[in-house]
Amino acid sequence: MKKDLLSIADLSKDEILHLFELSDYLKNLLKRGRFYHPLRDKTLGMLFRKPSTRTRLSFEVGMYQLGGCAIFLSSQDLQLGRGETIEDTGKIFSRYIDAIMIRTFDQKEVVKMAESTSIPVINGLTDLLHPCQALSDYYTLWKRKIDLETIKFVYVGDGNNVCNSLLLGAAQLRVNMVVSNPEGYDANPEIMERAKKISNGKIVVQRDPLKAVEEADIVYTDVWTSMGKESEKKVRKKIFQPYQINEKLLKRAKKDVLVMHCLPAHRGEEITSEVMDGSQSIVFEQAENRLHLQKAILVELLS
């Protein structure tokens, strides 16, 4: 039976750890200049309804490095933009290509695509989830030999897609996670409930960002206004101001705290340039690891 990657909730702890091991193997091969082409003659279709820099590049380069190829498909240029259904589109894709990566608004669209096609579907971000990002982020910490079960991981900002996937990952990997966001900008309630239940007390909400980051090992943030929410930008900029990751806030965390951001960042809003370019920031390492982790996903689903 074909496998999809629609949410971290579909993966067990062992499956996630296996992906980390495989990412490491692939990363080391690449660093040693060794060719490895298990996906020769395989094609990935990349369907985008939203913009992207990292996701598009890392999937495209990843397929190339694995011996296959990737095709960029903008929804505006497809018949999808003129009313062809996602189900029919999925059926057509399965006649030409071997897997689909999709970035869209509604999570239901990704599910529909997965149900209507016989080839693996990978979620490249929806309004609800961003599984490839969260997996790459936990891989980044694992790779640094950080004990995921003992750290205090604090997410400060909007309870958005990235936050939801980090929560699902934290639950599976037994990470102590604190989420700090203003009221009304919470993580998805079902996801929060599920994550809390699985984690057995290791996930909490602390609205006050100053209290939340006390003794934090990791402070993670993301944009205050996600793609599709642009009309709320002005209001959000005001409400989220106390949640900015700056030097003052970081003083409350552990001395060797690491700062994470999925990028793109809006410097001067959710994170200051001082922090983003500072010695504690690992944001570009996270971005690089998208490539290695997603290559592992591709090998798992396609070979």
Residues forming contacts to ligand NVA in the complex (CB under 6 A) are 125, 160-162, 222-223, 226-227, 262
Site for ligand CP (CB under 6 A): which residue of 27, 42, 54, 152? 54
Residues listed for the chain: 303
Concatenated DSSP letters for 4-44? -BS-GGGS-HHHHHHHHHHHHHHHHHHHTT----TTTT-EE
Helix (H, G, I), strand (E, B) or coil at 248: helix
Report the residue number, 104 or 176, with the smaller CB distance to ligand CP: 104
Q: Is 266 a catalytic residue?
A: no
Q: Is 133 a catalytic residue?
A: yes
Find the shortest distance in angstroms from Cβ 194 to ligand NVA. Answer: 20
Using alpha carbons, list the distances in angstroms from residue 27 to 8, 44, 213, 251: 22, 20, 32, 34
Say how far residue 168 (Cα) sits from the centre of its chain: 11
Give me the 120-149 binding string for ligand CP, x by CB under 6 A, dash otherwise. Answer: -----x-------x----------------
Given the residues 127, 137, 158, 222, the one annotated as active site: 222
Report the residue number, 42 or 292, with the smaller CB distance to ligand NVA: 292
Q: Exposed, middle or buried: residue 106 (CB in 10 Å: 0-12, 13-18, 19+)?
A: middle
Helix (H, G, I), strand (E, B) or coil at 75: helix
Give yes or no for residue 198 binding ligand CP (CB under 6 A).
no
Give yes or no for residue 225 binding ligand CP (CB under 6 A).
no
Q: Is 147 a catalytic residue?
A: no
Find the shortest distance in angstroms from Cβ 223 to ligand NVA. Answer: 5
Give yes or no for residue 285 binding ligand CP (CB under 6 A).
no
Residues whose CB falls within 8 Å of the CB of residue 249, separated by 6 or more in sequence, listed in order: 156, 209, 210, 213, 219
Which residue numbers are catalytic?
103, 130, 133, 222, 262, 290
List contacts with ligand CP (CB under 6 A).
52-55, 125, 133, 262-264
